[in-house]
Amino acid sequence: MKIELNERSPYLFEIPKQDAMNVPALVYASKEMVDAIRHEEGLRQLIHMSQLPGIVKAAMAMPDIHSGYGFPIGGVAAFDWQNGIISPGGVGYDINCGVRLIRTLLEKKDIDLHLESIINRLFQEIPSGAGGKKKKLRADLKGVISQGSQWAVKKGYGEQRDILFTEDNGCMPFADIEHISKRALERGQHQLCTLGGGNHFLEIDVVDEIFDAPVARTFGLFEQQIAVLLHTGSRGLGYQICEDYLKAMQKDNATNQRSLPNSQLACMDILSPKGQAYYSAMSGAANFAWANRQMMTHYVREVFQAALNISPRDLGMDLVYDLSHNVARKEQHMVEGKKQTLCVHRKGATRAFGPGHHSLPLEYQQTGQPVIVPGDMGTASYVLCGTQKAMEETFGSACHGAGRVLSRSAAKKAARGRSIADELQEKGIMIRYRGRSTLAEEMPDAYKNISDVVEVICQAGIAKKVARLRPLGVIKG
């Protein structure tokens, strides 16, 4: 059934509050995107989001919207901290799946002759694929879960500066291992410093266009610069935490006859014991993900230094920013002219905090935070910066990627008889992967045009374009 969307302003469409909706539903999109979005199951999920208790302002979706479990991918919803809910389906299975952008002092010409060697070494050093494990690495899970990136740096995996340029300094403070099941801990025990499968990747990119020179300088970016993009999350530990709490909340909701439009939206009052237990476990998974990305950053540095026979100083491999896109956080925002404490769910959406926000590093106080938007492995990725308008309209949120247009099964069907690896090679992109099916599922045709998605966000004013990155080498699971 087609759902009508009313144009509220250019690049913003609305489903007015009606029937069981507690708030309206908003979608950031272009007129060209709207026809496809009207038929998207994710739009129905957005309406269901709007019916949850304690939601404030609106249920929102970014232009990369597509169907997910519970909330749509690209969904943003904020709930009153005192009277609202928290939902594992509003966070997702891959808790704190996130993107990390690492810059270097190198130019493309500096690595042209070494690219294959670097890609091969990275592929060997950092396990990928769904079951990937880091050999001889057994995690101190209590330290990882309570301290996140800070644990990794204390153990020698990186620098103090890395922590300063990670959201929340790489650690959510309410994590407690006591709220995480034995099964979840077992799944995470050997998965630190692993990439995983699906849409996770490690990419060597070149900066091929600068859109805002002053902000790019602040971020340390310049044309023809070599950069690294890293996209992964909390692996099996986060997946199991989501599974555990979904089942527990679904059972509780059924027992207490909580009326929900879909059982995938299972939830608890934020301040209830079970709600707080999930928040604590989710925070632990978020910390695991930050430690995971931090440790991989350490090995990426080592590989570049060894392959190029270069010193850390000459390499200049510094973290631009690390940001997550599957987390619920306690935040304060202005709602109807008043500051309100909220639980902000961003599922397949990312923070885009504007200039002056207290959580940003001093260097980014004037620019707003870096917003990293990866595209598919065959086109481009973008670096944006957050704006004050995002703070006013979207709880400081923006899109997290291109968004799928083909399901994984549809992508595999479309890839039959094709060699996606050869197609990428013809574009000058070196690819390493564990599973042929993953490559088919993640082929460029499976995703929306990243430039169109980014254009919507920027025209809507909730982020500004800073730079574009083009892939040279990609590692997939």
Residue 1 in domain: no
Q: Calculate the average pLDDT of the chain.
A: 94
Q: Beta-strand (E) ranges in 325-386? A: 326-335, 338-347, 349-351, 370-373, 381-386
pLDDT beyond 70 at 132: no
Across 335-354, average pLDDT: 97
Q: What CATH number should be reported for the domain holding residue 78?
A: 3.90.1860.10
Contact 444, 379 (CB under 8 A): yes
Reported as a single tens digit per residue, the pLDDT across 186-210 is 999 989 999 998 889 999 999 999 9
Residue 389 in domain: yes
Residue 230 in domain: yes
Residue 134 in domain: yes
Contact 188, 236 (CB under 8 A): yes
Which residues pair with residue 464 across a beta bridge?
A: 385
Residue 447 in domain: yes
179, 190, 333, 400: the active-site residue: 400
pLDDT beyond 70 at 134: no
Domain of 407?
6-476
Provide the token pair at 370. Answer: 């870096």
39 catalytic per annotation: no
Provide the token pair at 23. Answer: 């708030």
User: Count of domains in the chain?
Assistant: 1
Amino acid of residue 65 = I
What's the whole-model pTM score? 0.96
Confidence (pLDDT) at 472: 98
Residue 17 in domain: yes
Rounded CA-CA distance 440/351 in Å is 30
pLDDT band at 122 (very low <50, low <70, confident <90, very high): very high
Reported as a single tens digit per residue, the pLDDT across 261-320 is 999 999 999 999 999 999 999 999 999 999 999 999 999 999 999 999 999 999 999 999
